[in-house]
Amino acid sequence: MILILAPNTRTDSDEFRQLETFLRHIPDIRYRVHQETGTQQLLTEVYLIGDTASLAAEEIADLPAVERVVRISEEYRVLGRHSDQQRSTSFEYNGVCFGQDNLNVFAGLCAVNTREHVAQMMKALREHGQVCTRMGAYKPRTNPYSFQGHGKSCLPYVFELAGNYGIRVIAMEITHETHVEEIREALRQTGNATGVMLQIGTRNTQNFELLKYVGRQREFPVLLKRGFGITLEESLNAAEYLASEGNRNVVFGLRGMKTNMGDPHRNFVDFAHVPVVKRLTRMPVCIDPSHSVGTRERAPDGLLDIMHVTAQGVIAGANMILVDFHPEPSKALVDGPQALTLDELPFFLEDVRIAREAYEKRVDLAREYPPR
């Protein structure tokens, strides 16, 4: 059960103390307080854990400071929808809104290689009105002898260039908790020139200790990739690990599933799950067409397979696109064969715009046919 308190209820107020006194006296119930400081107001939710089935919701709703009571299922306690349309499905980070109703594009380098390439990428993004990107510094590789990313040594120039080119959020994978501290330190050194969305890759979706660590910090939002060989439910529970530790600014990323049934694509594209994740949870949903498709193959109609699957995800309501670009794919240190080139950026963005417009028209259409 979640108690949604009146906006701006402070935990040192009389009402809150009275509420706590009441809650402490209910046998077999524990509670946990979550607070979000929004731009307009302070939002407080109290999670009751234990045997809540026997509690009368009307009685709880009459307690001091309580505005609404939401009964929740056991699944995805914090991130789930729980048939409550009024709770927020968006958050803001460094001036960019992430929600289930909008779309942000994160085009960028799978792995940082040179300062020059980072600058070229960011310049192109600025020329096309983009304020987000992806930049890999820590790369989890299948082969231990493959390039593992430049790590912390590239962070200062990546962040500095981001600031110069007006990039507000960089999606950056981390594979170890020490990377969070390295990112924080490099941001500090560059006067917080930009923001970072920590990415948990598909190989770490169920690295529970990493999830707990990242969930305990609330400075950076998190992009959690779906595990490539586990069920959707298991991956959504992984996202819930982050939220249960306190960080609810989580975006859920679909990136294709490992099965040869999807050949000749690198992974079997799972973007049909975009609306499913939005129905089950309040998380914005990201799609990664690059790691799903894995090649630059082009269909006879002139569109790249990567663009076709992007459009499929966007027309289904995706909220974020993580896509590999590179100024010179032949020189990319990781995943060059799937990178789009900078002169393809306007082509890609316009195709996304068309698909998004079609999605918005579909939503308008659905309003004309409300469920009975």
193: nearest Cα among 219, 152, 162: 162
Q: Tell me, residue by residue from 129 to 148, as one string, x for binding to ligand PEP by CB under 6 A and - for no binding.
A: -------x------------
Residue 195 interacting with ligand PEP (CB under 6 A)? no
Closer Cβ to ligand PEP, 325 or 359, answer by number: 325
Say which amino acid occupies 346: P
Residue 210 interacting with Mn ion (CB under 5 A)? no
Closer Cβ to ligand PEP, 80 or 201, answer by number: 201
User: For the CA atoms of the chain, what is the radius of gyration?
Assistant: 22
Residue 255 interacting with ligand PEP (CB under 6 A)? yes
141: nearest Cα among 203, 198, 230: 203
255: nearest Cα among 280, 278, 235: 235
- For ligand PEP, the binding residue among 80, 99, 108, 201 (CB under 6 A) is 201
Closer Cβ to ligand PEP, 46 or 109, answer by number: 109
Name the one range near Mn ion by CB under 5 A: 82-90, 108-116, 208-216, 244-252.
108-116
Element housing 107 (H / E): strand 104-108
Residue 110 interacting with ligand PEP (CB under 6 A)? yes
Closer Cβ to Mn ion, 110 or 174, answer by number: 110
Closer Cβ to Mn ion, 110 or 132, answer by number: 110
Which 8-state DSSP code applies to residue 229?
A: T
Say which amino acid occupies 81: R
Residue 248 interacting with ligand PEP (CB under 6 A)? no
- For Mn ion, the binding residue among 110, 132, 210, 333 (CB under 5 A) is 110
Give least dist CB 203 to ligand PEP, A.
6
- Which pair of tokens denotes residue 11? 């935990």
- For ligand PEP, the binding residue among 82, 150, 225, 282 (CB under 6 A) is 225
Give least dist CB 262 to Mn ion, A.
17
Q: How far apart are CA 28 and CA 227, in angstroms?
A: 35
- For Mn ion, the binding residue among 335, 351, 352, 356 (CB under 5 A) is 335
**Half-sphere exposure (Cβ direction) of 63: Cα atoms closer than 13 Å:** 23
Q: How far apart are CA 52 and CA 186, in angstroms?
A: 45
Closer Cβ to ligand PEP, 72 or 285, answer by number: 285
Q: Please, what's the b/e burial string for 248-261 (b: 16 or more CB within 10 A of its CB; e: otherwise)?
A: bbbbbbbbbbeeee
Q: How many binding residues for ligand PEP (CB under 6 A)?
A: 10
Q: How far apart are CA 338 and CA 298, in angstroms?
A: 11
51: nearest Cα among 92, 8, 1: 1
Closer Cβ to ligand PEP, 240 or 288, answer by number: 288
- For ligand PEP, the binding residue among 113, 130, 133, 202 (CB under 6 A) is 202
Query: DSSP readout, 179-191?
Result: HHHHHHHHHHHTT
- Which pair of tokens denotes residue 273? 């799950």
Binding residues (CB under 6 A) for ligand PEP: these are: 110, 136, 173, 201-203, 225, 255, 288, 291
Binding residues (CB under 5 A) for Mn ion: these are: 110, 335
